[in-house]
Structures are given as C-alpha cells and as structure tokens.
Amino acid sequence: MYLRPVHFVDAPMAYPDGAVARLAGGMQWFAAYEATDGDERRIVPVAEIGKFGERAALLHERITSPRAPLSLGERVVRLDQPQVVGILNVTPDSFSDGGAHVDDPAGAAAAGTDMLAAGAALVDVGAESTRPGAALVWEGDEVRRALPVVERLVRAGAAVSIDTRKAPVMEATLAAGAHLVNDVSALLWDDRAAGVVARAGCPVVLMHSPDPDKGGHGRVAYRDVVGEVFAWLEARIEAVAAAGVDRSRILIDPGIGFGKSLADNLALLNGLAALHGLGCPIMLGASRKRLIGALSNEVAATERLPGSLTLALKGAEAGVQLLRVHDVGETVQALRVWRGLRDRALVGG
C-alpha cells in the first residue's frame, strides 16, 4: 500500500481543523490521498485516513512530518522549501556538459562558486558519467578529477556533495571535507560504500536504479512504476539503516531516466508526492534529461532549459526538497516566483 497526496489547496486556513494536512512540513497543503493497495485505488479524505489501518497511519505520519534541515559544514540547508543543487561535472563525457571542466580544477571550482552566488544551496561534484553506455572510470582517475575541486570548494565555504558509487572516492572526498554522498546505485555498487557512509555519519542520497550493479540503465517492464519505485526505495532505506546509517540522514531520488521509458518517467513525475511516504527528503534530478528531448522534437541537451524549468516547478509543486539542476540561476529565479505565489496564497488572496 502507498498513499499519494492529492487535492492540493492554496489557502488551508479556509478548511476545518483536520480537513487538510501539510506536506512534509513544506509549503504545500492537501485535502485527500489517492490510496493504492494492489490493483485497488480510491480517494480518501485526509480526515478519514486513520480508518485504513496501521500501514496507512504510518504513511500519513511520514508524509506529514517536517524534514529536519541538513547540517553541511558551515551551512544549514532548510528543507521546508525547495532548494537548488548545482550539478558540477568534471568528466569528459557527461551527456550535456562533458568536457567543460576536464583537467581544470580551478575553473571547475570557480563554476561551483558561481552556482552558490546564483543561489544554489549545495554543489554536487561528479567525476564519472552515468549516461547510458558511459565507460567505467577507474577509482584512481575519479579521485584525481574530483578531489582538487572538492578541496577548493570546501575552502571557499561551500556545501559539497560527491556524486559517486565507489567507496574509495567517497573516502577521499569526505576526508577532504565533502558533506554528502549522492550515489546512483543506492550504495549497492560497492560493498564497502554503506560502511564508509555509516562511519562518516554524513547524509546520503539513495537513487532508484533497476540494475545498480550494471550502471542503472537496464529496462524493466513496470506494472505500477510509482509503487515499484516506492517499494524498492523503502527496502533500500531499511537495509542502509540496518547497515548503520542514521535514517534521519537518508535522502531518496526516484532516478528519472534510469531504466525507465518515457511513459514510466512521466508517471513517476506525476506520482512524486507519494514518495514522501518514505519519510525522507527527496532529491529530483530531471534537468536536461532525455524525456525533455523526447517531448520536444529531440532538441539538444544544451537547449532543454524550458523543459528543465517545467520539471523543476513540477517537483516544487509535489513538495520535493532538493532540485538537482544544471541551470542554477534560472531555476532559482523560477522558484522565487513560485514561492512568491505560494506565500501570497498561504496568507489568503
């Protein structure tokens, strides 16, 4: 069973007590759930969800509980509003920006500080492409690419995440001051990864991947992509918590574009709010993804800003806390306008 918040409302003060609920302590309020249990779906008012048993009560508690802020070095990132994570690839072959900062740590770090100045809360450094068909990078080369960039950004006071699936890369960059691990394999690719994260006590993003040991792009025939991604992530959260990672430090990512068809991706984006039932902050990485090209006459990856902004705002509407994007300044501006509209709605009128 899982619950998807629906019937979002602009002015919660206009409803009787208990008729609406706040989504994950954020800026969205809703009046009902779409409850899915096997093949059965029904709309349930928020006020009646307690009648549907312990599972429903647990999911409701997770969905409505505020998400604690992230303490990342000198920075505290609040999760009661959507925040922007800037993508900083130091690879020769990433799908939209490969080669932009290869063998130029100073230039890459400068690009990262520009993201912070434009409003990013966090800079996500990646030194291995995860696009379909990308070559595996030896961990030593990955450390060589990422480490000097992480070191420079940390010295500049940035909050830094390391986008990697390899334990040695995690160890080296965390020792250099990185604050968060973002793993597209949900700590499944490297047997040592969960232990490294547990010992470091750092936050970690677990991304859904249908075949994490093979790169994440194996195609699966989903019957209910939202429910299956939910169940997979729920199992990974429990396993990672059992391995010693504090549950409060676990974030999740639905893995848009990883082993999913266009129809799967669209269904998952429309069902994003259900993932709050996992009780963890959500990171959405849909910037410049293939689905935008598929819906836009195969426009090039570097020309997908309008589609990327549309998906970022879709995430904000669904209560997503972290939006991982290439175009930081433009996304920050879009979110500021969105937040202005929400602020005005929440005070009435």
Amino acid at 282: I
CA atoms within 13 A on the CB side of 299: 14
289 is a catalytic site residue: yes
From the list 102, 105, 83, 89, the residue with the least C-alpha distance to 159 is 83
| 3-state secondary structure string across the chain | CEEEEEEEECCHHHCCCCCCEECCCCCCEEEEEEEEECCEEEEEEHHHHHHHHHHHHHHHHHHHCCCCCEEECCEEECCCCCEEEEEEECCCCCCCCCCCCCCCHHHHHHHHHHHHHCCCCEEEEECCCCCCCCCCCCHHHHHHHHHHHHHHHHHCCCCEEEECCCHHHHHHHHHCCCCEEEECCCCCCCCCHHHHHHHHCCCEEEECCCCHHHCCCCCCCCCCHHHHHHHHHHHHHHHHHHCCCCHHHEEEECCCCCCCCHHHHHHHHHCHHHHHHHCCCEEECCCCCHHHHHCCCCCCHHHCHHHHHHHHHHHHHCCCCEEEECCHHHHHHHHHHHHHHHHHHHCCC
Amino acid at 193: A
Amino acid at 172: A
Name the active-site residue from 4, 67, 289, 304: 289
Rounded (10°) angle between helices 328-346 and 305-317? 30
Name the active-site residue from 4, 260, 324, 342: 324
Which residues face 2 on adjacent strands?
Answer: 36
260 is a catalytic site residue: no
CB 163 within 8 A of CB 209: no
Hey, how many other C-beta atoms are within 10 angstroms of the C-beta on 33? 28
Q: Just list the catalytic residues.
A: 289, 324
